[in-house]
Structure 1
Amino acid sequence: MSRLNTIAKSLALGALVSACSFGVFAESSPITPQQKKNAEALIQKALKSDLGYSIVESLTTEVGPRLGGSEAEKRARDWGVEVGTRLGFDKVSVEEFTMPFWDRGHLHISLTSPYAQPLYGTALGGAAPSEKEINADIVYFRDIHALTAVENGALEGKIAFVDGDAMVKSQTGAGYGQANQRRRIGWQHAQRGGAKALVVRSVGSDSHRFPHSGMMSSDGENWADIPVVAISNPDADHLRRLHNLGKPLSLSLHSESKWKGEVSSGNVILDLVGSEKPEEIVLIGGHLDSWDLGTGAVDDGAGIAITTAAAALIASLPERPKRTIRVVMFGAEEVGLLGAFAYAKQHEKNLNNHVLATESDFGAQTIWQLVSNVNSEATVLVDEIAKILSPLGIVRGGADIAGGGPDIIPLAAKGVPTIRLNQNGRDYFDLHHTPDDTLDKINPDELAQNIAAYAASIYLLADSEIDLKAK
């Protein structure tokens, strides 16, 4: 039996159980019978539709990798405008902003002692180039904590290697924040120690020779003055074994990554204008850019497809919801949430009319949990939405969890209410920021389940009379 048939049968069974257990929604329910009927119809339509898959297939195939600030990201914005227009959104626009552009360039990295062996690595975002080939001995650090304790100048003429452990696979991605410290701040301590370069174990849960890219953090004002390279987990394991044998280790490294000045990026805005309260905005979206090693299917072509397709399905209803639904295809997320901060700044005077925000940016596996951060009256509404989503295998989670997704952080910080439809992320850190982030990793039926959940929940929130903001 296909997964689609399984989901559809589960939905039908869930609806039957709901009817037997609860009857029609109580008169006090914040969801009317017609709204419930519309939401369930959206679920059924989404489960049978291939719209979302066709969107992510088009983006990854016709545009390809989309590094923030690059010519490819510009082509992606043009693509987003064309898709929004073709799908019948009421308003389609691009809001531009400027940003510094970092380019990866060519990288060579090889083990030279105790013997010659090519390694699989990638420059990290914000890293500096090497003026010439670097040949130096390795100083091994078991983890980021060991590197932070290094004395100033102690690494002069050396290459620092920060090991660690591969992330444990988990549904929630637990462990990413801690593991990510070696990628984000490791360069500051290696540079303080006088190292010629820094090499780190990739931040990921896979065992393939696919290095994970990602952005480093500045020190508040400056970026790295040294090359910084992530190597694949198997290569990091290899260096650890050699170190444990007491072998002297050395590397040859040459990197061309560098900053290339200010360029233009932008956010693509697709609006379904509300029928009664057009000034009130329910914002959903994903990020349009990707790292340049793969085609950005899972991170975050899937999120673009999920939210765009969900809104397009809502647009097919006989009439628009009361509130405006806005899909934002955020630009330059991977290099520092630049599109998110630009959006918050450009709409600063109108954020009080943003009544809800959420983003899909955790892959393409099924949604398993609904969490929220809205007022107590609106929490009752989200509780009722969770009942409608339950046949999709989605459970109600916390009712006081801030967030909504990475690009929603600047909006949530300004008081915009949020929900989050949490996806199963067991495969996410196998793929994210690697050459393995490609379309074949997306299961169309799982993608359809995501779209069904977004279409139903966003429709019900946009068509509600309830104030969602915290009081």
Structure 2
Amino acid sequence: MRVVPWVLATSLLAAGTLQAAPRATAIPDKAVAAATQLREHALASNLGYEITASLTTEVGPRLAGSEADARAVKWAEAKFKALGYDKVWLEEVRFPKWERRSEHASVVGTNAQPLALIALGGSPAGTVEAEVVRFADLAALEAAPAGSLVGKIAFIDHRMERARDGAGYGMGSKVRSRGPSAAIRAGAAAYLMRSAGTDSHRNPHTGITRFDAGLTPVPSAALATPDADQLTRLLALGPVRVRMALDCGWNGEAVSHNVVGEIRGKSKPQEVVLIGGHLDSWDPGTGAIDDGAGVGLTMAAGALIGQMRQRPARTIRVVAFANEEQGLYGGKAYAATHVNDIRKHQLAAESDFGAGRIYAFRSGAPEYAQGAVKQIAEVLAPLGIAHTPGEGGPGPDISPFAERGMAWASLRQDGTDYFDYHHTPDDTLDKIDPRALAQNVAAYAVFAYLAASADGDFGSDLKAVKPPQE
């Protein structure tokens, strides 16, 4: 029997085996007009800078699990309330506590001189004096035979390249996270690396490292880039001995919190658009670009939306995440806590790449929502932001939820000089341009308002996803 195609389709629909395509998501013209006004208002506002200045001045550096971290939580809770957020609450986050007390290093012997270095997060304490063996890159150290570095210090001299999108950090972070384990496998007593940074200042860059299961950790640290150069020149003259002394290590469990603030939606308050940044920082600087700016600009964006006459349909949720730096603990905790509400999370975006101007926008939303994504892009365009489908991925703290199916967007910041300051004493408020930060506030306010005003959704659904990495 010949089956007419439309008869088959009708039968399948009746049987529930063929589903109609989702209705295209679109943003009402009225919301687009309101977002355009919001954009100009945010550009003229200094609120994002004021919030960032408050955090970095009143709290300063906020190493996860420290007393300052606890003060930062109280600061964020009070700041959300002072900004007029409708609802503010804390969500507990637990993690191992790592402490830094002191670090020193020097070349000993004929060419004796001090070296500027900093312990990597997760390093154990210890004092080692030994001959240094230089490796040009991570692959060279990973290829070193077992036992070839017994009683020596392994040194990776990989130089990170500058890029607007921070692409050079991929290898830089691998040198930091995988280098110590490679050194241990070769028998090394300690590990040194050229800092994962693009500056030429005598400010070493810290950051978390890891030790593979079954290995006994060894003292691990990063040299300031001029000191890495100096050590390389000394090694060209002959064998070099270095004494490094680190006083640091793990000390039990710590409790911190994700701090959450909401601007309530008008007609669909149970659905949320999520924006945010991480509240913790490394300890050498004051955590201004990483990630005080992200917290300040997203808090400001939400507050400016809250002041509007025409509120969006959905709720704007701003999260100051706990302990991103040592392992995305806040982001993972948030995803675990809210996984059953994943469909209520309309769309999410995170700011964690400094305070440079945003230059590109995209969303990983499905095709039926890309019309609304383009509408958002059109309102962002006057800010100098290009629509770049296929480039960019979710930020670090929203990535655990994005991997479970939450819809995400990327507002990419210019990070040309970000790694000059990243994880160093130079990460301070003076590195932030208030006008650039205002542009960020405007972009996040427009994004959040329009996403929260859309007719239709952006595809959040519980499923396993492998989103692209930034």
With structure 2 as the length reference, what TM-score do the two structures score? Answer: 0.91
1:183 maps to: 176
Q: Is the 8 A contact 1:156 1:193 kept in 2?
A: yes
AA aligned to 2:190 is A
Q: Is the 8 A contact 1:402 1:412 kept in 2?
A: no
Cα 1:224–1:169 change in 2 (3 A) is farther
Q: Is the 8 A contact 2:279 2:320 kept in 1?
A: yes
Q: Distance in 2 between matches of 1:233 and 1:198?
A: 16
AA aligned to 2:183 is A
1:63-462 to structure 2, matched below 5 A, reads: 63-130=59-126, 133-165=127-159, 167-219=160-212, 221=213, 225-245=217-237, 247-398=238-389, 400=390, 403-462=393-452
Q: Over residues 27-76 of structure 1, what are the superposed CA-to-partner deviations in whole Å (9 max), with x where a residue is unaligned?
A: x9933332122111111111111111100000000000001111111100
2:31 paired with 1:35? yes
AA aligned to 2:223 is I
Q: Over residues 122-153 of structure 1, what are the superposed CA-to-partner deviations in whole Å (9 max), with x where a residue is unaligned?
A: 000111111xx322111121211111011222
Q: How far off is 1:113 after superposition?
A: 3.7
Structure 1 unmatched ranges of 5 or more: 1-27
Q: Distance in 2 between matches of 1:122 and 1:174?
A: 23
2:4 maps to: none
Q: How far off is 1:179 after superposition?
A: 2.2
Q: Is the 8 A contact 1:307 1:451 kept in 2?
A: yes
AA aligned to 1:172 is D
Q: 2:41 aligns with which of 11, 21, 45?
A: 45
Q: How far off is 1:452 after superposition?
A: 0.6
Q: How far off is 1:304 after superposition?
A: 0.4
With structure 1 as the length reference, what TM-score do the two structures score? Answer: 0.90
Cα 1:263–1:151 change in 2 (3 A) is same
Find the residue that maps to 1:94 and give its secondary structure: strand
- RMSD, aligned CA: 1.6
Q: How far off is 1:329 after superposition?
A: 0.2
Find the residue that maps to 2:51 and give its secondary structure: helix
Q: Distance in 2 between matches of 1:191 and 1:362?
A: 32
Q: How far off is 1:320 after superposition?
A: 2.5
Cα 1:224–1:341 change in 2 (3 A) is farther
Cα 1:141–1:426 change in 2 (3 A) is same
Structure 1 ranges of 4+ moved more than 6 A: none
Find the residue that maps to 1:411 and give its secondary structure: helix
Q: 1:468 aligns with which of 449, 458, 469?
A: 458
Instruction: Give the aligned length.
Output: 438
Cα 1:224–1:441 change in 2 (3 A) is farther
Q: How far off is 1:456 after superposition?
A: 1.0
Q: Distance in 2 between matches of 1:148 and 1:404?
A: 30
Q: Distance in 1 between matches of 2:279 and 2:129?
A: 38
Q: Which moved more, 1:186-195 or 1:455-464?
A: 186-195
Q: How far off is 1:224 after superposition?
A: 5.5
